[in-house]
Amino acid sequence: MTRLPPGPGNALVTTLRSLRDPYGFPLETARRYGDPYSWPSFLGPMVVTGSPEGIRTLFTADPDTYSALGAELLGPILGESNLILLSGERHRAMRKLQLPPFHGARMRAYGQIILDAAEAHAARWQRGRPIPVHRTMQEISLQVILEAVLGLREPGRREAFKAAVLAVIAALKPSFMFIESLRRPLLGLSAWARFQRRRAHTFALFEEELRVRRASPEPREDILSLLLSARYEDGSALTDDELLTQMMNLIVAGHETTASALAWSFHHIHREPAVKARLVEELRGLPEPLDPEAVARLPYLEAVCSEALRLEPVAPLIGRTLRKGLTLQGFELPPGISVGISILQVHRRADLYPEPERFRPERFLERSYTPFEYLPFGGGARRCIGAAFALYEMKLVLAAILRKHDLRAASDKPVRVAVRNTTVGPRGEVELLHA
């Protein structure tokens, strides 16, 4: 009989408690049971580590040791060809196709899109009224994705996609994602049926966009156009289903995560006057008009973004399922067991980050961290392909807004954390006021 480390015993209770307190309960569990610990879930038992040594073991193992967590369960919802659900050679091939647009000169071409979107949305804020920061960041992030990823230049077309994508995101419920028995139409009245209708409408818009794009000979630099011309090693192109699935994945995954990271950044900056003063001084040292590359090179701005991602990880826990046996910190884990990496736990280690609950960007200027100590975008062979793009967007949005808007916190009340579909973000709104 396989011996697993100790941990909570009831999947339902554990799930409910982690939904109510997605940061506090996992940290409490790690303190109570040690590292690693077992975490019961509806996908089966998971052995979780938040130590650099354990994370090193998992990230440096042969990628074929793992399959994507929950692939069979989530495939009918997120798409069977979705990058995050693929494993082995299929994962490597799809990842190789999608990486180039997110790096180097191609990514930098999107800088002006980001600056323009941030400035336009912030210009709508009214003096004397609370500024809904998180909602604004969601709007900015979605506009950037629709322009940079899909290349939607015409406002009407962009608004149609925006409405469709937001409807799909709103219809995506953890209940039917993880409990197959809830995927029933119930005469078209169930949450599952509503999700299917909204997804079908969104995919119809995508298919129309593919027809328009293929009929136009004009060269374009958006990510959809680049993927249309991408080829596997055997010379074959992505199928329409693969294209639609990858686009939807990039939009849904990149929209909420970046918006939450930015909202947390604004929240913490305006709770720490010394941080705000130092950051604004650095930003105002740049000439107008802003050069996106000059912004991206600012050291303190990068430290601020890094600290926000450390303190408030949008994916506190990432998992894989073992296809082969693995030894993790003295425990012999058999195939079929899942392993989890607690990004939250390693980011809150006092031996790595003194005063771990404090927002202190200077720590990233004082020392560097290994990929097993700081990993806001995951790591190993499955590290988020949009990591560089997300950090780039965070820097440019903060720069565009903080240079022109003197803001302050609207309240001293703490902002709590909430599960938002499959990620974690602020509970309720993050509000600021013009100073």
- For the stretch 13-60, pLDDT in tens is 998 899 899 999 999 999 999 999 999 987 889 999 999 999 999 999
Q: Using an 8 Å Cβ cutoff, are 431 and 131 in contact?
A: yes
How many other CB atoms sit within 10 Å of the CB of residue 66?
A: 24
pTM of the model: 0.93
Distance (Å, whole) CA 308 – CA 152:
30
pLDDT confidence of residue 2: 63
How many other CB atoms sit within 10 Å of the CB of residue 184?
A: 12
Domains detected in the chain: 11-151+220-434 (1.10.630.10)
Of the candidates 432, 330, 326, 315, the one whose C-alpha atom is nearest the C-alpha of residue 375 is 315
pLDDT classification of 97: cutoffs 50, 70, 90: confident
Mean pLDDT of 394-410: 95
pLDDT classification of 369: cutoffs 50, 70, 90: very high
Structure-model confidence comparison of residues 274 and 43, the more confident one: 274
Distance (Å, whole) CA 417 – CA 260:
10
pLDDT classification of 361: cutoffs 50, 70, 90: very high
Distance (Å) of CA 318 to CA 113, 372, 390: 31, 13, 18
- For the stretch 144-180, pLDDT in tens is 999 888 888 788 888 999 899 889 888 888 778 877 8
Mean pLDDT of 316-331: 94
DSSP character string of 215-275: H------SHHHHHHH-B-TTSPBPPHHHHHHHHHHHHHHHHHHHHHHHHHHHHHHTT-HHH
- For the stretch 283-298, pLDDT in tens is 999 998 999 999 999 9
Q: What percent of the chain has pLDDT over 90?
A: 58
Of the candidates 63, 64, 67, 33, the one whose C-alpha atom is nearest the C-alpha of residue 48 is 33
